[in-house]
Amino acid sequence: MTNSSGFRLAGKITTLLGLMIIAPTAFADMVLNLRRGVTDISQTVYELHMLILWVCVVIAIVVFGIMIVSIVLHRRSRGAEAAGFSHSTKAELIWTIIPVIILIWMAVPAAKTLVVMEDFRDSEMTIKVTGYQWKWHYSYLGTEVDFFSTLARSSNIARQLRSGVDPFSVENYLLDVDKPLVVPVDTKIRLLITSNDVIHAWWMPSFAVKKDAIPGFINEVWFKANETGTFRGQCAELCGRGHGFMPIVVDVLSRQDYAAWIDAKGRGETVAMVDSTAAAEAPAAARELSGEELYNISCGACHQANGQGLPPTFPSLVDSAMVDGPIAEHIDIVMNGRVGTAMVGFSTQLSDAELAAIISYERNAWGLNSGDTVQASDIAAAR
Amino acid sequence: MDHTHDKYYIPHGSHWPIVGSFALFVMLGGFAVYLNGAAIGGTASLFGLAVLVVMMAGWFGNVITESMAGYYNPQVDKSFRMGMMWFIFSEVMFFAAFFGALFYARQLAIPWLGGEGTKFMTNLMLWPGFEALWPSNGPAHAGGEFETMAATGLPAINTAILLSSSVTITIAHHALKNGNRLQLNLGVLVTVILGFSFIYLQATEYMHAYSELNLKLSTGIYGSTFFVLTGFHGLHVTVGAIFLTVIWFRILRGHFTPQKHFAFEAASWYWHFVDVVWLCLYFFVYWL
Amino acid sequence: MGPEYEATADQYQADDHDHHGAPSGIKRWLFSTNHKDIGTMYLVFSLLMFFVGGTMIMIVRAELFQPGLQFVDPAFFNQMTTMHALVMVFGAIMPAFVGLANWMIPMMVGAPDMALPRMNNWSFWLLPVGFTFLLATLIMPGGAPAAGWTMYPPLVLQTGDAFPFLVFAVHILGASSIMGAINIIVTIMNMRAPTMTLLKMPLFVWTWFITAFLLLAAMPVFAGAVTMLLFDQFFGSHFFNAAGGGDPVMFQHIFWFFGHPEVYIMILPAFGIVSEIIPTFARKPLFGYNSMVYATASIAVLSFIVWAHHMFTVGMPLAGELFFMFSTMLIAVPTGVKVFNWIATMWRGSMTFETPMLFSLAFVFLFTIGGFSGLMLAITPVDFQYHDTYFVVAHFHYVLVPGSLFGIMAGVYYWLPKWTGHIVNEKLAKTHFWLSAIFVNITFFPQHFLGLAGMPRRIPDYSTQFADFNMMSSLGAFGFGLSQLLFVYIVYQAVKGGEKASGEVWDNPKGLEWTVPSPAPHHTFETAPEVR
Ligand code: HEA
Ligand code: HEA
Ligand code: CUA
Ligand SMILES: [Cu+2]
């Protein structure tokens, strides 16, 4: 932990009690409350939320009010004599019926919203979203465009156990990715959500969209963003060790910009304007990363820093034939993955140099010291 | 020490429960170790099972002696009856879970995989060409081509067997009430024999399924539901049959009077319960 | 009007010819068939587990104290979250209620003991077995279960050697609960004093009676669910695997069919406890006794048709989402009836505020807040935003900690003098109350804001905008945790000695348990008392 955060810590702890008192009164504040979001649906949801909230607050005031009055007035220390009554059919009817009415009154708009949410008619484009342990894959149906979206490297380095990097120094810590999902504004977009391994959930608060990604099934959701901009969310279903580290970022572009982007993507170019989120990284990641660092970021989650893995699901590399077997096979597995296992191919996600560095590291780490070194050219050859 | 009838009998300390806990610890702990790949776990598990049997013998032994010694007044007897009934209820709920799974798979999961309802894309993109039919081992045809067990043949015979067995146990019950020991004795004996022959036929049915029909536990959702439902039922039949066997020996010993015979009734209730479960099985699993 | 109780000295004999009070030595506990001793064992065990589960979550709160990973690996973090829940639910809250049931129900209905004393002993002695399995997983290859207490496949199938132990622990704890439930049902149906008619029963007995049926119906289903997991993992079945025609979501349906009744299993007895305490300290009969009973029953019935409100985001058909939204909202009505009845009981009473009353009042306040957030979660379209965020965590801790846990604490403070024969140290007890009441809110209230601001649950590290409230919550948690050490000391004190308690203990409390001396003799009501 760096000094700066050390001071912040000290400062915070002292001011927290103060914060506690004002917090509940600050409902309007964005950080305290649900966000309005940028779709019609998310606005409606926000209004619904506020409606129920206030209904509950009002009921609470009434109920707690009566209770407090009674606690204050009807105490023996004030010489209150206990009355003897023990039931009143009238009262009991009233406080059964009134809640029912309130509930119905709340249920109607809720039901309406739900119906709208389930209406998929005339959506203009479709994107298939697939959850992986622990990243997202997007493929734009009807185009060549598909890519993985993983936690931005700056965050990934800072979030390693005792990394020594102060999270406050990383912008959008844990909420940034290398390649965001890019969509046009004012367009009804349908997402087909599924998973490759365990259950995940694709959650974009600003769109009021949250759907589970279930292996073997496809769930559908749609949204229509009214504003351009960058919006951030996270995986919202426990999916194992990296659950906290598979954020979701959506860039909503003007229709023209989107057209340009998808077209360039189709031709396999990277588009600065958008993909720059990956390029413009915190200083930590600007330098060349060693094979070890790359390994810890890309492979360590499953195979562990010590290469022991988490058997049975994530095999140990140390005592696997791969790392001291033929280099070609090693490269093949890392690049193309192993079908039927959690091991996915990394060829689309890492550069030749990075893959080479990782493989070299794997063959020499943990006391294996085979002395092998893999060059970027070997990877290029294998592509 | 005397225990007068008008007093509710509270047993003094018993060591059987703690023995039972130890037994379960060894049995299930051992089994877990075995499942994790260490063979000794299996041995331990069997040892635990043995201890469990000893514990039951001892525990029920105590109860029987106390009962014969006349410690139990009608209120105690009533406690036992209620206890047994609610135990059977919990068993019903246990089977309900698996029937629930069967209905869910047939009514929802399979149709969805076949693209029904809002799951059109599921079928189109993930399982193209998969048709929602029952029986099914899923879009991946887990376990390969298989045939289902015909409702006629063995299952039908088994149904007949169980049905008649619950008739014979009822006959025995009436005999017991009318003090007709011979009929009682034979009635229970026949029930026991029918029970065990059911288990035998069930076993041959399983062998037939595995060897000829390629119907296995791993045969997709059909095999899973089929074997888990019939398997747990078979297990309960076995328990019930053993229970009745014990009762039979007690009858030989001259236990039970026309007025007091809780254990006998408990056994017969249990038997009727496995019988009813079987009828549901026969209807939902074999027929439909 | 609540029932009147009366019993005279000869209606309980401390000893008779073949009951020599409490047997001595370890056998007293190992072989016990005495509802009071077994109740004590349950309560002690539950306190122990409360500390174990609490210590685990202290690790979680320490890691969440500030952003970045300072102490533990994410995998271990998930293990702590999962184990915390399992230990608290099945080790702390449920056994505590069963312990109270064991101690009080026979006394409250005028029975000599539980109906099936030997089985009663086994119900308890299965718990240590189950928890040996569960806690042993912490040192197994692959670590403890880490897929959340909800054990969703396919994730839970990635558990290491712990997996079969998890399943069998659930089986054993389930068996224990089922036997306990059977015993309570039979005791209440068959062991009541002849004049103790159903509608004269104290509400604690009523709520437990209904809870027992929930246990009986829910626990076997849970056992079935984990059994299917076991088969999928080891015997190649395909219940929860789409390729074989199964569905991972099917597990969630089966689990929550158990899971939702389970949460009411953890609150109904608490309802009963406060319904005993508030009349005593308001010096006024409980308002709307009958409607209390009916409300409890309808909550129980409804609890079986609302389960899918935990799964609104799995992609259910619209009709399902609507149905489960409406049925869930409905539960607010009977629960409301109870809340209003409690308040009407206080109304125009002559209240004093001893510790049990303080905890009961806090219960009514804070449980209601938890109930409100529950109602918000019930609104499907909005739950899409709340689901799996800290808003949910805040909700269920409000109903579970100042709900269930405070209910238990209230009960313990209420009956402790009856058990030990000593007056509780009011001064310390009140301190314990105020510390707990303040810290519990510091811990869990900010979590509402975290959830709304978008912090998912079950994450070991979070984006910096959540830092402040997490730090606050952690500080509250440490405070709350440490305050509980005081509770242990207070109980210890009362057991060791102190001012002798009268049989009535409080100011004219209603109920048979107060007609016997304090401490309650080893055997009570060997001949049935009179209830007018
Ligand atoms: C003691 C346990 C307990 C209790 C009593 C409750 C009570 C309720 N719960 Fe809660 N709940 C949990 C424990 C509990 N819950 C747990 C553990 C989880 C999370 C599980 C997990 O995922 O790990 C959960 C999750 C949970 C969810 C899923 C959230 C999600 O994951 O997305 C929902 C959704 O509907 C819900 C709803 C409710 C409702 C409507 C009630 C109602 O019973 C509340 C009724 C009470 C009131 C409403 C207040 C008093 C009433 C009045 C004063 C009358 C007037 C009021 C009105 C008319 C509004 N709960
Ligand atoms: C059943 C009752 C129950 C109880 C009583 C508690 C008690 C507490 N819970 Fe628990 N909790 C659950 C049930 C319960 N919880 C469930 C079901 C979940 C969901 C799990 C899942 O997602 O699968 C959960 C999850 C959960 C989370 C979310 C974790 C995550 O999503 O990653 C958090 C986070 O703050 C939390 C906090 C607490 C705290 C601070 C307490 C405190 O009340 C605990 C206080 C007690 C102690 C602290 C122990 C006693 C004191 C000592 C041992 C002395 C030492 C103390 C110090 C050194 C400070 N709980
Ligand atoms: Cu993916 Cu959580
Ligand atoms: Cu619920």
List the A219-223 sheet strands across, edge first: A146-149, A135-140, A125-132, A189-195, A219-223
Q: What integer is the mean pLDDT of C300-324? A: 95
pLDDT digits (tens, 9 = 90+) for B195-229: 999 999 999 999 999 998 999 999 999 999 999 99
Mean pLDDT value of segment B148-156? 87
pLDDT at C13: 41
What's the Cα-to-Cα distance from C288 to each of A91, A133, C208, C403, C480, rounded to whole Å?
10, 54, 18, 21, 35
Judged by CB atoms closer than 8 Å, whether chains meet at C154 and A199 is answered as yes
- Tens digit of each residue's pLDDT (9 = 90 or more) over A281-300: 434 444 566 777 777 777 77
> CB–CB of C69 and A160 under 8 A?
yes
**Residue A332's pLDDT band (cuts 50, 70, 90):** confident
Distance between CA atoms of C472 and C447, rounded to whole angstroms? 9
**Average pLDDT value for residue range C310-318:** 94
Q: Given a cut of 50, is residue C1 above it in pLDDT? A: no
Taking the Cβ of residue B24 and every Cβ of chain C, the question of whether any pair is shorter than 8 Å is answered with yes
Q: Please state the rounded mean pLDDT for residues C398-413.
A: 97
Rounded to whole angstroms, how far apart are CA atoms C171 and C220?
9
Q: Percent of chain A at pLDDT above 70? A: 83
CB of residue C393 inside a 6 A radius of ligand 1: no
Amino acid A320: pLDDT? 78
The CB-side HSE value for C63 (13 A sphere, CA atoms) comes to 24
How far B6 CA sits from the closest chain C CA (Å)? 10
pLDDT value of residue C324: 96
Q: Which residues have C-beta within 8 Å of that of residue C391, sequence separation ≥ 6?
A: C373, C376, C377, C447, C448, C450, C451, C452
The single residue of C207, C335, C380, C515 carrying the catalytic annotation is: C335
Indicate the average pLDDT of chain B. 92
Residue A26: pLDDT over 60: no
pLDDT at C344: 95
Q: How far is the alpha carbon of B109 from chain A, nearest alpha carbon, in Å?
A: 10
Q: Is there a contact between A192 and B125 if contact means CB atoms under 8 Å apart?
A: yes
pLDDT above 70 coverage of chain C, percent: 95
Residue C123 pLDDT: 96
Question: Which of C:145-164 have CB within 8 Å of B?
Answer: 161, 164
Per-residue pLDDT reduced to its tens digit, B165-190: 999 999 999 999 998 999 999 999 99
What's the average model confidence in pLDDT over A322-350?
Answer: 76
Between A340-354, B4-18, B165-179, C289-303, the lowest mean confidence (pLDDT) is in A340-354
Evaluate if residue A2 carries a pLDDT over 50.
no
Integer-rounded Cα Rg, in Å, for chain C is 23
Give the residues across from A126 on adjacent strands. A190
In the predicted model, is pLDDT for residue A11 greater than 60? no
> Quick one: pLDDT at residue C201?
94
- Interface confidence, given as ipTM, is 0.92
**Local confidence band at A309 (pLDDT 50, 70, 90 cut-offs):** confident
pLDDT for A371 beyond 90: no
3-state helix, strand, coil in chain C (%, to 5): 70, 0, 25
Instruction: Name the residue with higher pLDDT: A8 or C484.
Output: C484
- Among residues C32, C40, C81, C176, the one annotated as catalytic is C176
> Which of the four pLDDT bands, split at 50, 70 and 90, describes residue A87?
confident
What residue ranges line ligand 3, CB within 6 angstroms?
A 131, 134, 200, 235, 237-239, 243, 246
Instruction: Provide the pLDDT confidence category of residue C5 given band limits of 50, 70 and 90.
Output: very low
Letter for the amino acid at C274?
A: V
Nearest 5°: the CA angle A302, A304, A308 is 105
| Prior bond of C279 cis (ω within 30°) | no
Relative orientation angle of helices C268-282 and C355-378, to the nearest 10 degrees: 140
C387 token code pair: 């689901």
Residue C458's pLDDT band (boundaries 50, 70, 90)?
very high
Nearest CA in chain C to B12: C33
pLDDT digits over C242-275, tens only? 999 999 999 999 999 999 999 999 999 999 999 9
What ligand is nearest to the CA atom of residue C328?
A: 1
Beta bridge partners of A212: A201
pLDDT of residue A373: 81
Question: What is the Cα–Cα distance from B262 to B72, expressed in whole angstroms?
Answer: 11
Predicted confidence at residue C106, as pLDDT, reads: 95
Q: Can you give the pLDDT at residue C244?
A: 93
pLDDT at residue C479 tops 60? yes
Residue type, A364: N
Which ligand 1 atom sits nearest the alpha carbon of residue C399? 1
Residues of B in contact with C171 (CB under 8 A): 28
* Separation of alpha carbons C307 and A178, rounded Å: 39
> A336-350, A357-371, B256-270: which has the minimum mean pLDDT?
A336-350
Q: Is the pLDDT of residue C7 over 60?
A: no
pLDDT attached to residue C22: 63
Beta bridge partners of C422: C500
The whole-number pLDDT of residue A85 equals 87
pLDDT score recorded for residue C2: 40
Facing B220 at nearest CB: one of C18, C128, C244: C244
pLDDT at A342 over 70: no
Q: Report the gap between the CA of B141 and the closest CA in chain C (Å).
A: 6
Asked if C384 lies within 8 A of A210 by C-beta distance, the reply is yes
Predicted pLDDT at A296: 72
pLDDT in tens, C86-99: 999 999 999 999 99
Paired with A136 in beta bridges are: A131, A149
CB of B108 within 8 A of CB of C317?
A: no
Across residues C352-368, what is the average pLDDT?
96
Chains that touch C (3 or more CB pairs under 8 A): A, B
Give the per-residue pLDDT at A312: 63
B119 → closest Cβ in A118, A128, A217: A217
Residue A235's DSSP bridge partners are A202
Residue A13 is predicted with a pLDDT of: 53
Residue A310 predicted with pLDDT over 80: no
CB A60 within 8 A of CB C398: no
Chains adjacent to B (≥3 CB pairs closer than 8 angstroms): A, C
Assess contact for C42 and C102: CB atoms under 8 A: yes
d(CA C336, CA B188) in angstroms, rounded, equals 55
Mean pLDDT along residues C471-496:
95
What pLDDT, on the 0 to 100 scale, is given for residue B118?
86
How close does chain B come to A312, measured CA to CA in Å? Answer: 11
Q: Whose CA is nearest to atom 52 of ligand 1?
A: C336
Q: Give residue C18's pLDDT.
A: 46
**pTM given for the model:** 0.91
Q: Inform me whether the pLDDT recorded for C48 exceeds 50.
A: yes
Q: Are C152 and B45 in contact (CB under 8 A)?
A: no
Classify residue B288 as exposed, middle or buried by CB count within 10 Å of its CB (0-12, 13-18, 19+): exposed
The secondary structure of C47-106 as a DSSP string is: HHHHHHHHHHHHHHHHHTTSSS--SS-HHHHHHHHHHHHHIIIIIIIHHHHHHHHHHHHH
The residues, any chain, with a CB within 8 Å of residue C197's CB and separated by 6 or more, are none
pLDDT digits (tens, 9 = 90+) for C123-181: 999 999 999 999 999 999 889 999 999 999 999 999 999 999 999 999 999 999 999 99
Q: Which residues in chain A are contacts of C154 at CB distance < 8 A?
A: 197-199, 215
Q: Mean per-residue pLDDT for A300-319?
A: 74
Candidate from A168-182, A364-378, B180-194, C434-448 with smallest mean pLDDT? A364-378
Residue reference for tokens 């209820």: B89
pLDDT of residue A270: 61
Average pLDDT over all residues of chain A = 82
Name the band, by pLDDT with cuts 50, 70 and 90, for residue A307.
confident
What are the b/e assignments for C204-214, b being 16+ CB within 10 Å? bbbbbbbbbbb
C103-115 pLDDT, tens per residue? 999 999 999 999 9
Nearest CA in chain C to A37: C385
Average pLDDT of chain C, as a whole number: 93
Residue range C509-522: average pLDDT?
Answer: 91
A241 inside 8 A of chain C by CB = yes
Residue A319 is predicted with a pLDDT of: 77
pLDDT of res. A377: 79
pLDDT of residue A7 exceeding 90: no
Tell me the per-residue pLDDT of B36-92, one tens digit each, with 9 for 90 and over.
998 899 999 999 999 999 999 999 999 999 888 888 888 899 999 999 999 999 999
CB C387 within 8 A of CB C312: yes
Which residue do the tokens 């030989």 mark? Answer: B252
Q: What does the pLDDT look like over C370-405, one tens digit per residue?
A: 999 999 999 999 999 999 999 999 999 999 999 999
**What's the pLDDT score for residue A281?**
41
Residue A360: predicted pLDDT: 81
pLDDT (tens digit, 9 = 90+) per residue, A213-266?
999 999 999 999 999 999 999 999 999 999 999 999 999 999 999 999 998 888
